[in-house]
A = this chain, B = another copy of it.
Amino acid sequence: MKAAQQALAEGILFTDMYQMTMAHVYYRMGLHERPSQFDHFFRNYPDYGLHQAGYCITAGLEWLLNWMETARFTDKDLDFLRQQQGNTGRRLFQDDFLKWLAQHGSFEALTLRAIPEGRVVHPHVPLTTVQGPLALAQILETPLLNKLNYATLIATKAARVSQAGRGRPLLEFGMRRGHERGVNAGARAALIGGADFTSNVGASAALNFPPKGTHAHSLVQLFMALGEGELDAFAAYAEVYPDDCLLLVDTVDTLHSGLPNAIKVFEKLRQKGHKPVGIRLDSGDLAYLSVQAARMLDQAGFPNTVIVLSNQLDELSILQILAQIQDEARGYGIEADDVINRLVYGVGTNLIISAGDSALGGVYKLVAAEKNGDWVPAIKISESAAKTPNPGYKRVWRVYDERGLATADLLGLDDENPRQQEPLLLHHPLEPGVYRRLPQAQISEIEPLHITAWQEGTRHYHAPPIPDLRAVCQADLERLDIGVRRLLRPHIYHVSLTAKLWQLKQSLIASIKNNGGVAE
């Protein structure tokens, strides 16, 4: 895209066409400024096929709010809408509506409550609630989902990959196969969820965070094409980066060329008083080669060098590599932990696209509209009970047990206070009459999860720096039961309704069924 195209493509027209046609219908009906409420939530954790998530990590709010701050209908946006014609050549958007958009077409009148970035979250919990004029809340649907769904998907994947790697450093390497400009949002989300660094220089610059990287096969190939060899390529790299020397050893033959050559270079660095950083393995049996590389580096007197693994890694392949190292290291005279504790993971494509499940199904549903000064809850009777949204303007609390672990998320109505309920009733989200009773004495904390991120145009949420977001995420993961955190078949975390919300939902469903589709 050229700059003028990009301004159109990424400004307030970054939305679905039907948001604009609906906004126009609301305008004609006099409903466009009607106060309304929408919930943003997802219904299912990512399911990667062979493994499943038991939690998600929120991300994307900061960049959503940045976008909302500047998004408004410019003359060029309005020109494009003015040109749009229907089947008979009649304009799709009339001048009075476009004039209203020019005057009121920004997100200043909306209020967003949200769960901040870096938090553990679960299905059916409103991650964001939007309140304000109907037409603008509707136009916001698509960009909000776009900017929160993908970021949350990637923060979640990064947390899983980091967990599989037992907290050893994780580098995000995926921009070459990620989805075009989206990789910048992906890199940021990966850093929030569990990556320690990204190779993406631009995203790092935008976040004022150091990027990481070493060299590629092409460095070695280039020297070879010019009649020199791998050793010359390594020596050249070491000369420029004597204190940051990490060498890719698999261009020719890992054990018989790459590692011996790297060790020769490391020895020269040591003679000059430098500490070599380590090696990278990018092909072959990474578990076996890690063990052999650790042995060779140890024998050469470099026990503190790292071994970076890359090549189509994901959480399962890391799990497998670590299991194999546990099985075979000792047979080669080295402790498995001495290998594992020097590993670093470079994860590219499978992280940035969330391989196995490359989209989070977040949705944005109308839950209430104002009528005669009162909020009237809205509901959609879908084909399944699980898809029927929870009505009304809601709050979310996280309930921690006596051990300080999160035991349930509780959805209730705006005017409820779960601290005042003894015992606290946690209603099953779908099954009538099924609930947990939790005496307040068994509750160590009840934490409201929503903050006011944006109130009638005033922004209240500003993301802390990346290291602080990472700390938020780590703290939340540590307060999660280990069964919920595991990679395969995790325990299902409880998301419950208050008795009051449960009753509201049932009465609305009954009312609609009794009235031929019209709620009363």
Contacts and interface: CB of A to CB of B under 8 A. Distances in A.
A16 interface: yes
A222 B352 CA distance: 37
A262 to B, nearest CB: 13
B224 A382 contact: no
**7 A-B pairs with the lowest CB-CB distances in the bound complex, closest first:** A17-B213, A182-B182, A179-B182, A179-B179, A18-B213, A5-B206, A225-B378
A176 interface: yes
Contacts of A5: 66, 206-207
A84 interface: yes
A124 B369 CA distance: 57
10 contacts: A5-B66, A9-B206, A16-B213, A17-B199, A17-B212, A142-B176, A146-B175, A147-B180, A225-B519, A227-B518
A63 interface: yes
Nearest to A218: B366
Interface residues of A, number: 136
Interface string A349-361: 1000111001111
A344 B86 CA distance: 17
Contact of A17 (B15, B201, B378): B201
Interface stretch (A240-248, A393-401, A423-431): A240-248
A174 to B, nearest CB: 8
A45 interface: no
A519 B184 CA distance: 39
Residue in A227, A284, A520 whose Cβ sees the most chain B Cβ within 10 Å: A227
Given A222-B366, A224-B517, A284-B383, 6 more contacts: A14-B184, A15-B202, A16-B199, A24-B240, A218-B365, A224-B518
Contact of A206 (B8, B25, B34, B216): B8
A366 B203 contact: no
A441 interface: no
Contacts of A221: 365-366, 378-380
A287 B516 CA distance: 25
Contact of A180 (B8, B182, B349): B182
A11 to B, nearest CB: 7
A412 interface: no
A300 interface: no
Contacts of A173: 16
A151 B175 contact: no
Contacts of A14: 175, 184, 200-202
Contact of A184 (B138, B181, B199): B181
A22 B244 CA distance: 13
Contacts of A519: 224-225, 227
A21 B218 CA distance: 12
Contacts of A10: 181, 184, 202
B205 A80 contact: yes
Contacts of A34: 222
A268 interface: no
Contacts of A217: 380
Contacts of A142: 175-176
A36 interface: yes
A371 to B, nearest CB: 6
Interface stretch (A249-257, A319-327, A402-410): A249-257
Contacts of A224: 378, 512, 517-519
Interface string A1-38: 11101101111011111111110111011010010101
A319 B147 CA distance: 32
A353 B371 CA distance: 40
A14 B183 CA distance: 10
A376 interface: yes
Nearest to A93: B240
A264 to B, nearest CB: 14
Contact of A359 (B3, B181, B353, B365): B353
Contacts of A203: 9
A359 B366 contact: no
A110 to B, nearest CB: 15
A92 B201 CA distance: 13
A381 interface: yes
